[in-house]
Amino acid sequence: MQYSMLGSSGESVSRVCLGSMTWGLQNNQQDANQQIAYALDQGVNFIDTAEMYAVPPSLETYGKTEAIIGHYLANNKQQREKVILASKIAGPGLPWVREGGLITGEAVISSVEASLARLQTDYIDLYQLHWPNRQSPHFGQHALNHYKFSDSNANKQIESMLDVLQGLDKCVKAGKIRYCGLSDDTPWGINTFLKLSEQHNLPRMVSIQNEFNLLHTKDWPYLIENCVHEDIAFLPWSPLAGGMLSGKYLNGQRPQGSRWTLQQRNGLFRNTDASEAVITAYQEIAKANNITTAQLALKWCDQVDGVTSTIIGATNMNQLKENIDAFKVPLSAQALADISALLKQYPAPF
């Protein structure tokens, strides 16, 4: 296993981050226990979760994933110090989470307490804002069309961000969280938080996790360049585009129990002629290199300059082993050239 620095935190994290959002719906406690144990045995020391999980998000599944991780930690206390544990506070828009309200400093404090109780731990290593207050909760799309880019509105946003940082600062000083990070945000969001931290001597954001994969490269190079120069860890989520890049959904296939068979996660808005064509082409490159299409996509993500750790997820052990194995073998120069050609041909396939 290879490791990288988590931005300016000084912590070393595995290039593979174990995602957990299926635990509590598609996966049960026993499944999660097996996945965590295997990942740790392979050298993974980074686990990501969120108060919102499991997904699809609902009142019934809210907090279940954290509770599953907490049960594991309570029964494996010796593992806690070996793990960089990351969680997230949900942004606005979910009526069962703070009645759909904004993230505030007060909300940060209460949400950290609730997450700590579910996780059965005294501290969270990396606490992240799942999506910003100014953004609709449509992951990966950055739907800001409800937001007015006026000076007065910008000032309100900055005041809100300062309030959030002050809440995070209280949690850091209390020893309840160690580092702070962002998710589903923009260069303006990153830089505004950094300015506020410097101006007011508040915790510095050390990371951001955004959707990033062969079908969705909007952060490359602009946001990633920003991360590199500001020492912000870039953590891609959905490196397989919700499973699309495994090829399992091609030609209308819907494997039983897969994410696209679940309500709110059918993925059909991405199932275009262009996405089908480019995934089929990626399959051919993978075959030529004796790896699976999923491994091709994961390894491509890992080799992008500026990527710190890629968040993987799996619903069974075979998938988990396949995913982790992807990071062990470099892509050939020819494979990278072939992929680059397809990225130019299909810059936005959905």
Omega before 54 cis (within 30°)? yes
Give catalytic status of residue 346 as yes or no: no
Helix, strand, coil % over all residues of the chain, rounded to 5: 45, 15, 40
Question: Taking Cα atoms as reference points, which of 82, 168, 64 lies closest to residue 118?
Answer: 64
Catalytic residue among 38, 53, 62, 346: 53
In eight-state DSSP terms, residue 42 is T
In degrees and rounded to multiples of 5, residue 209 shows phi and psi of -115, 125
Sorted by sequence, the CB contacts under 8 Å of residue 340 that are 6+ apart come out as none
Q: How many CB atoms lie within 10 A of CB 104?
A: 17
**E strands in the chain:** 3-5, 12-14, 16-19, 46-48, 84-89, 124-129, 177-183, 205-211, 233-237, 310-312
Neighbours of 316 (CB within 10 A): 15
Collapsing DSSP states into helix, strand and coil, what is residue 283? helix
DSSP string, 154-188: HHHHHHHHHHHHHHHHHHHHTTSEEEEEEES--HH
Give the Å distances, CA to CA, from 324 to 15, 54, 264: 10, 22, 28
DSSP code, position 131: S
One-letter identity of residue 157: Q
Nearest C-alpha neighbor of 239 from the set 216, 264, 223: 216
Q: Specify the pairing of strand 16-19 against strand 12-14.
A: unpaired
**Beta-strand runs (E) in 174-232:** 177-183, 205-211
Q: Which residues are catalytic?
A: 53
